[in-house]
Each structure stands twice: as structure tokens, then as C-alpha cells.
Structure 1
């Protein structure tokens, strides 16, 4: 009994250290999440009375053809972005992390250079992208015209529905891939040197070491990267908003769920389109949160199965 009391007293200081962070998390994460859930069953313009409408907002989202088309187009763009993250960005992150882990020549310099784009704000990245890829005055088109390409044949880049999305993915890779790369690199550095040395004694080359020793051991780090990619892909807003405007371009090529949420919650930016409905916007947020939970749960389940099979 005395040992239990002493143990409880011993851990009590740690609770006090955790308390400020816990209060902050509850105040700015849990409480708004609960409030958003209840608001999704109401109608409110932000200043008047909050009126309960039941499932009307959900009906408005999924049964209204125009709203459903806008939401599923935006959600489809989010899914495409996540798939690009998984099949393009993650392999680049893993490959880059392994090169730095192998301590290639000037690896410290390259690590610093990879981190450089991350310190730039999204506004700066979007500004430079506009300077380079603007159809009228962009540097790329000016170079193409100077090389003899007819002015009528130069690409529209950000104004072209076939090119805008690849440009967005390229900018995302350049600006944010370093975080996942650093997570994977730190996981690689945690791999046991004894295991690697044993594989070298067995005659395993670098490729086999990577495939059969390093890759299975960095599972937790890879899981974190994949979960972060889902969250980032679903919550994407600032970069496409700055590149294509409130509606994600003329045909919605760069329209994402959070941009639709923003238009609904705060208006589209024009005086004629200030149809603010925070209840309907909260519904979009609630549905998106449910999708995030489903995707992350399925991914964790799949990764858990893969881990069991590997064992």
C-alpha cells in the first residue's frame, strides 16, 4: 500500500507538467470539434439565432445535385492529391532519406538544401509559381516564345485544367516533402547497426539491406508519414487557394474540400455571393472528419496486417 502511494506521489509532478498542454489541446481541439458536430445540425449565419434543422444540412450536401457535384469534385481532388502523395512523394522521401542515411558526399549540405523550401511561406511559393507559370506574363512562356514557340501555342499552365494539378503536386513535393523525409531518416538512424553488420556478413548488398533490413524496421516512421499525408491531403487549402482563387479555377480543377468549406462559412469574396451558412459549413467539416477517421483506420489496419505477415 505504501509503495503504491509513493509511486503515485512520484508521478504527480509529471501530471502538472502535462496539464497546461492538455488544457490547451482540449480548449482548441476537442471543444471546437464537439461544437462543430452540434453546429452541423443547425443553421446559423454567425450573428443571428442558431436554429436546429436536424439532418437538413446533410440532405442539402448529398441530395442537392449542385452541392453534391461541388463536394464530390472537391473531395475527388483531395483523393487524387493523397494518391500522388503515396505513389510519388513517399518514394521520393524514402529514396532521399536513404541517400542521406548512406552518408553520400556532402550529405549535410544536401540535408540543409532539402530543408530550405520548408522555411518559405506558402504565399511566397504561390507568388513565385505565378511568376513562372502565368499564361500571360509568366517567365516559362516568355522563354518558350523567345525560343520560337508561337504565342498561340504556349501552354496555359495554371489556367489549363490538364496542367494545373501536376503543377500543384510538384510545388507540394518541393515545399513540404522534407518533413516526411526527416521522419523516415530518423527512423533509419534507429535501425540496429548489429543487424546491418550481420546482413553484410551474410553477403547482402546495399539494395538487399534496404529491402530486407531497413525497410521493415522503419514501419512506425512510415506509418506516421502516411497518416500525415492523409491529414494533409484532406485538409489542403492554402496553396491551391493562392494559386487558383476561391473556386479553384474556372472548372474546379484545384477546388478542394476546405476551399468549399471556406466559401460556405465566409462567402466567396464577392458582394453578391455572401451566402454565409456556418451550420452547413460545419456539416462539410463533420463529414470530412469522418472520412479522415475512416481512411486512417483502414490504413492502420492494413499496415497492421502487413506487419503480422512480415513476422
Structure 2
């Protein structure tokens, strides 16, 4: 018995002591509000009292004509907002990272800083600045296009239903392309020099080396960037609100789940706020993000592990 007790590993109480403050803070500001939101979505306000109604708020949100049209419109816009980032932001970030990782490129530190600076700007500053730039009345975009002989291409992009959401998505791409660039750049720098030297000995250089050697090795980083893009886009709110307001004009063409949640929960202009229905929208957003993250973690990440070195 004495031998068994001596070989038993000691209980490391210090781990719990060091983790306790972080766990308490995370629980207070994240876990408890999440469960309170889920609980609020199951109730409604009747004569200044909260009455349990089960899933009726979700039935109202998904099936009632007054709400379902706005919800599905916001969800569709959110999906398009995400697709633009996936098809434009992340490929450009990978391309920039590949260029900046080239030892032949001069002033790499300057370029990295210049591209990354917009990511530290406030959403309000970025949105208001681009709203001024693209204004057909006092913006500089018409003059710049006129300077290069392309003034005929200018349109009030933020004022047209067909272009407003795509324009805002591209503004967001401009602001945050530095994040995937830096993550991919760090992943490229972590590739062992021995692998690259062996590839050069086999005659694999230049773009062929990037496609055949580097890109497969940074696929795990690309996967992480993709899921971060998904979570960030389906939580988006600030840029749309700062440029188009809570009504997400023109005619709700830039309305996403974040702005729809804001109007429903807090109310706006003549629309009265409904915290219970707003909580149902927040719960739907949480479930969408949870499903997307679960698909990545259990379906995609396992396949990407084979590329890790």
C-alpha cells in the first residue's frame, strides 16, 4: 500500500487556483448571460409579467409573415457577407502573405504595417470615412475616377440596393485583410528551412514551391482563418450600423442578423422593442455559429491535421 501511495501522482491544486479567476470572470460575463438569453427566448411579456411560452417566439420568428421575411432576408444577407469575405478577403490575405514572405521583397516591414493598420481602426471611423469617400455629393471617389478617365463607372454604391451590401463587405475586406495575411505569414515563416531546401534541390522553386510545398503546410492556418471569418461575419453589426444605420438601408438591403437583432431587442423609431423576441434572434445566431464551428471542428479539422508537421 505504501508503494502504491508513493507512485500515485500528486494532486496539482495550484492549477485550479490559477485558473479560478479566469473561469469566474468568463462565467460571469459569458456563460451566465448566454443562459439568461436562452431563458429569455422562452418567455414573453404579458401584463408586465414574464410568461413561459416555450418555442412560440421561434415559431413567430420563422413562420409569421411579420417577422419571417425580415429574418430570412437578414440571414441571406449575412450569408452573402460571409461569402464575399471567404472569396475575396482570405485569398488576398494568402497572396499578400506569400509575397511578404519572399526574401527578395524589400521594405517588407513597411508593407506589413501599412496593410495591418486598418485592422486597428474603429468600425465607426472606417465606416464614416468610406461613407464620405463614396458620397456622390462631396466624396473623393468621383474625382479620383474622373482623374483616370473612369468617372462613368461611378455609382452611388451605398445608396443602391443591388450594390450596397457588396460594397460594405468589400469595405470590411479592406479593413480586415491584414488579419489573415499576418496569420498565414506567421505560418509560412514556421515552415522548416530543411523542407524548402530539399524542394529546391528537387527543382521545385518559385510559385511551384508555394503551391506544392507551402500551401499544403499552411492549410491548418487557413482552416482557422475560415472559421474565424465565419464567426466574425455572423456576429457583424458595427460597420453596417455606422454606415447605414439601424434600418440597414436602402430598404433593408444591408440588413444582417446583428442589425435585425438590435431593432427587435431595443426598438427603433416607431418599432417597439421586444427583448424576448430579440433573445430568440440572438439564440438563432448562437445556434448558427455553433453548428458552423462544430462542422469545422469535427468534420474539417481532423482532415487538416495530416498536413501538420
Match runs of 1:225-304 below 5 Å: 225-268=225-268, 270=269, 272-273=270-271, 275-304=272-301
Aligned to 1:82: 82
- Deviation at residue 101 of structure 1 after TM alignment: 1.5
Aligned to 2:222: 222
User: Is 1:59–2:56 an aligned residue pair?
Assistant: no
Aligned to 1:205: 205
**Equivalent-residue separation in structure 1 for 2:143 and 2:205 (angstroms):** 48
Aligned to 2:171: 171
Counterpart contact for 2:160–2:250, Cα < 8 Å: no
- Deviation at residue 250 of structure 1 after TM alignment: 2.8
Match runs of 1:128-139 below 5 Å: 128-139=129-140
**Equivalent-residue separation in structure 2 for 1:125 and 1:55 (angstroms):** 39
- Deviation at residue 139 of structure 1 after TM alignment: 2.8
- Deviation at residue 256 of structure 1 after TM alignment: 0.5
Aligned to 1:122: 123
**Equivalent-residue separation in structure 1 for 2:295 and 2:158 (angstroms):** 34
Helix, strand or coil: the match of 1:51?
Answer: strand
Helix, strand or coil: the match of 1:299?
Answer: helix
Query: Where do 5+ consecutive residues of structure 2 fail to align?
Result: none
Aligned to 2:109: 108
Query: Where do 5+ consecutive residues of structure 1 fail to align?
Result: none
- Deviation at residue 298 of structure 1 after TM alignment: 2.5
Aligned length: 303
Counterpart contact for 2:42–2:54, Cα < 8 Å: yes
Counterpart contact for 2:84–2:170, Cα < 8 Å: no
- Deviation at residue 15 of structure 1 after TM alignment: 3.0
Counterpart contact for 2:101–2:188, Cα < 8 Å: yes
User: Is 1:13–2:43 an aligned residue pair?
Assistant: no
Helix, strand or coil: the match of 1:162?
Answer: coil
**Equivalent-residue separation in structure 2 for 1:99 and 1:154 (angstroms):** 31
- Deviation at residue 305 of structure 1 after TM alignment: 6.5
Q: 2:8 aligns with which of 4, 7, 12?
A: 4
What is the CA deviation profile of residues 37-71 of structure 1, one whole-angstrom value per residue up to 9, with x for unaligned ones?
Answer: 111101249x9432212121011101111311101
- 102-111 vs 206-215, which moves further: 206-215
**Equivalent-residue separation in structure 2 for 1:235 and 1:109 (angstroms):** 31
Counterpart contact for 2:248–2:255, Cα < 8 Å: yes
Counterpart contact for 1:135–1:159, Cα < 8 Å: no
What is the CA deviation profile of residues 154-176 of structure 1, one whole-angstrom value per residue up to 9, with x for unaligned ones?
Answer: 62221111221232122111111
- Deviation at residue 147 of structure 1 after TM alignment: 9.5
TM-score by length of 2: 0.89
Helix, strand or coil: the match of 2:252?
Answer: coil
**Aligned alpha-carbon RMSD (Å):** 2.6
Aligned CA distance change for structure 1 residues 276 and 148 (closer, same or farther; 3 Å): same
